[in-house]
Amino acid sequence: MRACKDKEQLVGILNAGEPLDLIPLLDSRPHSITARARGRVRLFFIPFPFAHDLIWNTPDLFSAVLAVVSMRLRDLATLATDLAFKDVTARVCKLLLEQAQTQGRDDRGGGQ
């Protein structure tokens, strides 16, 4: 996502099957984001009117969309907090720790 002129902030990495941008489907307004593929992708485009009507008229789908948007909002709030209150060293340490936990290893010598 471009913040201003030459600056960018990575706000997330999507995996196969994850929707790119759900915000316009909830508020019917444009949402400017930039996305780049890190490899080959197959992208499916669903016309806005169809997707909007489908989401708003299918309660289970609407609940699923809200769950995804809520999770992403929490992640964005955490990122904002980290950027505001942690220095670069603390943010890098946090990322390394999260990566180690995701990969099943810790910093105390050895993996699982």
Does residue 40 sit within a domain? yes
At 22-75, the pLDDT tens digits run 888 888 888 877 788 888 888 888 898 999 999 999 999 999 999 999 998 998
Q: What is the mean pLDDT of the chain?
A: 83
Q: What is the pLDDT of residue 5?
A: 62
* Within-domain flag for 56: yes
Task: Name the residue range of residue 86's domain.
Answer: 2-102
φ and ψ at 7, to 5 degrees?
A: -100, 145
Query: What is the Cα–Cα distance from 48 to 78, expressed in whole angstroms?
Result: 30
* Residue 1: partners with Cβ closer than 8 Å, 6 or more residues away: 8, 9, 10, 11, 33, 34
Quote the CA–CA distance of 51 and 11 in Å, as a whole number. Answer: 24
19 located within any domain = yes
Q: Does residue 58 form part of some domain?
A: yes
Indicate the number of domains in the chain.
Answer: 1
d(CA 38, CA 18) in angstroms, rounded, equals 15
Q: Has residue 108 been placed in a domain?
A: no
- Global pTM reads 0.66
* pLDDT score recorded for residue 2: 46
Q: Residue 50 and residue 74: Cα distance in Å, rounded? A: 28
Task: Kindly give, in sequence order, each residue whose CB lies less than 8 Å from that of residue 24, ignoring residues fewer than 6 positions away.
Answer: 30, 31, 48
What local confidence, expressed as pLDDT, does residue 64 receive?
A: 93
